[in-house]
Amino acid sequence: MRSHPDACPGAVELHQAADGGLARIRVPGGTLSAAQWDVVRLAALELGTGFLEFTSRANLQIRGLADGLELGARLRAAGLLPSATHERMRNIIAAPLESNQDLVDALDAALCADPVLASLPGRFLVTVGASVSGLGGDFGLVDDVLLLAGTDTGVRVDDPVDAVVTAAGLFQEMRGSAWRLSEVDGGVRKITEHFGAVDGPRITPAVTPVAPSPTTPGVPLGRLDAHQLPGVPVRLTPWRGLVVPPGTDTSGLITDPASPWHGVSACTGRPGCAKSLSDVRADARAWLGTPHSLPVHWSGCSRRCGRPQGDVIEFVATGDGYRRIAGTAGDEEIR
């Protein structure tokens, strides 16, 4: 059981990183109008380091901020900070190629309207859609299926919004100091009993990444120069990419599955993270072009922040090189 509250940053309550204040901007469902996207881009350029970081939960981060006040005011004016009390728990990942933003918006509004849910942890996560159902949400919706901690226990729902709000309330009641439903002893069972389970076939949660293309570009190492994509409506994906309209100028982004950048991710590393034992982004760049069959993730320390779900080859800095971890193949030292 956790002994301390989670420290996930918000858009106003910043995390103090080695390179200044770090804000995480929740974007439930990943959809930003052209005007909203420009607000975030300009905030990164005018208040931060000039870059936007894409997270594995399809959120955005701005680094190098003096404080969160000006950013908060801009986001509020753009409709991107609808609740001061529920800001950090607004984590909803939606299948980015499906038409589901209306459901996400209804879900977000209902979760934010319940005062009890304000103290859900910043790690709380809801997924919407089959292609993101394996991303480890506390709750997941796939048609009428309500997944609990990433498992189909047989719960079927008529009103998905009401079901998630009810389930989130039950989680909050029983969670103690746990951050995730999977950490609560008997949590999944109790929520299943509350709703009742049907007999019959179960679905298997899955992760189906969107392949890079000119309309679904990936962002190299999840870090975008905020001068890029001005005036474009976007949908963020949990694979550190976007969905953009046809004809958008995607120079410098990953638009081809054969790109050496495709499938390569890295944590912040030096100089942004004080814990980092190396400049993982520079090391990943230098390594680029080495053939790899699985996604590859580089970390500056053993916390392994931002590691993608599923099978992945990892390079974890040791202070004296990197430890390579490849699924069941075990560890080997790389120097």
Residues in touch with ligand SF4 (CB under 6 A): 267-269, 273, 275-276, 299-301, 303-305
d(CA 4, CA 24): 20
- Least separation in angstroms between residue 243's CB and ligand SF4 is 26
Q: Select 90 or 270, whichever has its Cβ closest to ligand SF4.
A: 270
Q: Select 212 or 300, whichever has its Cβ closest to ligand SF4.
A: 300
Q: How many beta carbons lie within 10 A of that of residue 319, not counting itself? A: 9
- Least separation in angstroms between residue 280's CB and ligand SF4 is 7
- Least separation in angstroms between residue 62's CB and ligand SF4 is 16
- Least separation in angstroms between residue 31's CB and ligand SF4 is 27
Phi, psi for 295 (deg, rounded to 5): -55, 150
- Least separation in angstroms between residue 294's CB and ligand SF4 is 19
Residue in 257, 270, 333 with CA at minimum distance from that of residue 299: 270
d(CA 235, CA 232): 10
Residue 104: both structure tokens together: 């996400």
Q: Select 127 or 265, whichever has its Cβ closest to ligand SF4.
A: 265
List Cβ neighbours of 235 (8 Å cut-off, separation of 6 or more). Answer: 29, 30, 31, 32, 96, 242, 243
Q: Select 31 or 268, whichever has its Cβ closest to ligand SF4.
A: 268
- Least separation in angstroms between residue 318's CB and ligand SF4 is 12
- Least separation in angstroms between residue 303's CB and ligand SF4 is 4
- Least separation in angstroms between residue 267's CB and ligand SF4 is 3
Q: Select 7 or 258, whichever has its Cβ closest to ligand SF4.
A: 7
Q: What is the DSSP string of 267-311?
A: ---TTT-TT-SS-HHHHHHHHTTS--SS-EEEESSTT-TTPPSSS
Chain centre to alpha carbon of residue 257: 21
Q: How many beta carbons lie within 10 A of that of residue 5, not counting itself? A: 11
Q: Select 132 or 267, whichever has its Cβ closest to ligand SF4.
A: 267
Residue in 56, 59, 60, 30 with CA at minimum distance from that of residue 48: 60
Q: Give yes or no for a contact between 307 and 294, defined as CB atoms under 8 angstroms apart.
A: no
d(CA 67, CA 104): 29
Nearest residue to ligand SF4 by CB is: 300
* Residue 260 per-residue DSSP state: T
d(CA 305, CA 266): 8
List Cβ neighbours of 201 (8 Å cut-off, separation of 6 or more). Answer: none
d(CA 49, CA 26): 19
- Least separation in angstroms between residue 276's CB and ligand SF4 is 3
